[in-house]
Amino acid sequence: MSDTLIGLVSQYSPSGQERGAVEWLVARMKSLGYDGAFIDDAGNAVGVMGKGTRQVVLLGHIDTVPGEIDVTLTPPSPLAPLPEGEGNLYGRGAVDAKGPLASFVDAVAKVGARDGWQFVVIGAVEEERNSEGARFVATQYTPDFAIIGEPNQWDRMALGYKGSAWANVTIKRGQAHSASGEETAAEAAVGLWLKIKAYVDSFNENKQKVFDKLLLTLRGMESDSNDFEQWARLKVGVRLPVEVSPEDWYQILNETLIPKGENQVSETFRVLIERTGFAIPAWGCEKNTQLVRSLLSGIRSQGGEPRFVYKTGTADLNIVAPLWKCPAVVYGPGDSSLDHTPNEHIDLGEYGRAVDVLSHALQKLTSRAAS
């Protein structure tokens, strides 16, 4: 059962260098009996099982962060909660997120074609950068159900991921003598950061759950000057709750830092707010759906006690769910605390259980939803 996982992890594929892994996965899906497997126009690996009119999309990502790790198998720990005998697979992407993607591939192969249904498994590119693969498929499919592949352990499913927004806040002011006592651009930048932080602290004051809070970070600070002007720049990032959209956040920044929303504070002092990167809204999944109930049943079928989690990061869920507007959930084996680490590895026993959970859930889902 782990051949798909081992083979996929053996294909080193940091963002921007996924082609070899994509070609390998397409060939693997063909060998497993998929009705079709191909590389789409965005470079994603796509496998299709069944020809029905109703559709389940299982979207994982095939890219990883940089940093190649030797692919090795080791014996299981005697303290491991799962049965011994299969061991651990080390390698970049074993957890994030080739483990979940490979489990999708194997589960669909195990279930096979279902009358009236079509399973579409996608290994998306560029998730670790700007989610170009997911942005493409978001406009290509209109599934009835969607499962997004991220590691949350075999007996848990994630129902929400926070959004994110990034901005450069630049302060410019006229040059002044160092003995004048006037506030420097760098000092003003510190003051503006404290204003942002004060707003966030006030917003979070009565929020009990991390998922509901604004999570603020200062990612960088720099300053310089020339003969006539001095400037300082803050690189500000925030993880957003569902109730605060990226547009809301940028408005908050403007109202907090720039009186009356004007960039020109005075003739000699200016504040400029520049949006950077892709802003992503948070997304929370509906809990009471046939999809969730099917996965709950799948976890219980393997002796697990299902749990729900809400994550502070972002995922391709945030990209596709607002467009697909169908029941969705995030599932996949692996310990997310190992994401991006030099020690990244997955328990093969856990991987096998996840495949069985998914195959049970897909059979139940397509039987229930059809009835």
**Catalytic residue positions?**
63, 127
- The contacts of residue 148 (CB under 8 Å, 6+ apart) are 59, 60, 315, 316, 317, 320, 328, 329, 330, 331
Catalogue the E-assigned strands of 101-155. Answer: 117-124, 145-149
Helices (H) and strands (E) in the chain, counts: 9, 17
* Number of Cβ atoms within 10 Å of the Cβ of 190: 15
Backbone phi and psi for residue 69, each to the nearest 5 degrees, phi listed first: -120, 130
Cα-Cα-Cα-Cα dihedral sign, residues 349, 354, 355, 359: positive
Whole-number Å distance between alpha carbons of 319 and 112: 28
- Side-chain-side CA neighbours of 242 within 13 Å: the count stands at 13
Q: Is 235 helix (H, G, I), strand (E, B) or coil?
A: strand
> Omega into 97 within 30° of 0, i.e. cis?
yes
Sequence-distant (≥ 6) Cβ neighbours of residue 3 within 8 angstroms: none
205: CB partners within 8 A, 6+ apart: none
Distance CA 145, CA 295 (A): 12
Distances (CA, A) of 9 to 44, 62, 127, 308, 349: 16, 9, 16, 27, 16
Q: Which amino acid, 186? A: A
Please count the residues of the chain: 371
Q: Edge to edge, what strands does the sheet with 269-280 contain?
A: 215-225, 229-240, 163-174, 269-280, 264-266
How is residue 265 written in tokens? 């504070």
Q: Which two tokens stand for residue 185?
A: 């651009």
